[in-house]
């Protein structure tokens, strides 16, 4: 696996085409299919064809998306300090902890679409 400057580990399973749109600092939003796991393999979240704003995600997810191209698939391993750190995440409807504090997170991501702003 490679490592970002922030400390996120990533591996491109399928690289998007070199001519495909790329996630960058100015990316408005992306459409992804993903699955998030704890390091023991427990699935805590998954979405299909989900629209998200990278700046609104945890730092490790945002950093792990940078440089991905449309059509790409990537595995991320996010250390707890770039995820939720010392905070547990609970299911709002049940109150059950879905992500314990200090958890390393693993994501499988497929990048479907990149929405970059029009050049000015």
Residues serving a catalytic function are 34, 44-45, 58, 84, 107
Q: Which residue has the tokens 């390091």?
A: 39
| Rounded alpha-carbon distances, angstroms, from residue 74 to 25, 43, 67, 90 | 18, 17, 11, 26
Instruction: Round to whole Å and give the CA distance between 118 and 75.
Output: 29
């Amino acid at each position: 696996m490679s490592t970002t400057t922030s400390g996120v580990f990533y591996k491109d399973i399928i690289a998007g085409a070199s001519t495909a749109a790329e996630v960058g600092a100015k990316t408005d939003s992306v459409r992804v299919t993903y699955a998030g796991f704890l390091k023991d393999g427990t699935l805590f979240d998954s979405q299909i064809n989900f629209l998200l704003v990278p700046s609104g995600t945890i730092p490790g997810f945002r950093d792990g998306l940078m440089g991905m191209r449309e059509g790409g698939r990537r595995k991320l391993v996010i250390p707890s300090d770039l995820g939720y750190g010392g905070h547990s995440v609970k299911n709002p409807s049940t109150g059950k902890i879905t992500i314990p504090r200090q958890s390393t997170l693993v994501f499988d991501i497929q990048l479907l679409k990149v929405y970059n702003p029009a050049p000015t």
